[in-house]
Amino acid sequence: MRRLALVLAIVLALPATAFASEDHPTLRELEGELMCPTCGTTLELSNAPAADQIRRFVRERIAAGDSKSEIKDQLVTEFGPGVLASPPKEGFDLLAWLLPIAGVAVAAVVVGALAWRWSRARTPAVEEPLDPELERRLDDELARFEP
């Protein structure tokens, strides 16, 4: 019963954490989700002046009480969608999320079909009867090892 209560508490706390992150983002959190327009790395890895400028902007917007999506929207307006570390999950950019999943699914189906076909194509080993003389010699040899 305790485990169930613990799992329930964790499940109920997760959405609240996600909403809190959206409403009250941190610079550290956004640094991993935004790209530097000059060097093409995330802000957390960049030392470029443009990255510093974006960090200042993000700090100002957090202090002003903007949500994570509002800050990102303002940066996309200024720098374009390339400032986001991951593509949006809408429109044509949705393909960047769906194609890898579809590729893995197709590959799994192909490998499964080939494995099934290979397992069905094998011919079972046919046991031919031994020559009676050879069978008698084998029985004699085996009898020597029995107590």
Please determine, for residue 141, whether its predicted confidence score (pLDDT) is greater than 50.
yes
Q: 60-92: per-residue pLDDT in tens?
A: 989 998 889 899 989 888 888 888 887 766 777
Can you state the percent helix, strand and coil of the chain, rounding each to 5?
70, 5, 30
Buried b (16+ CB within 10 A) or exposed e, 16-33: eeeeeeeeebeeeebbeb
Taking the domain 2-86, which CATH number applies?
1.10.8.640
Cα–Cα distance for residue pair 128/120, rounded to 1 Å: 22
pTM above threshold 0.85? no
| Cβ pair 48, 39 in contact under 8 A | yes
Cα–Cα distance for residue pair 129/21, rounded to 1 Å: 75
Q: Where in the chain is the domain with CATH 1.10.8.640?
A: 2-86
Q: 44-54: per-residue pLDDT in tens?
A: 888 889 889 98
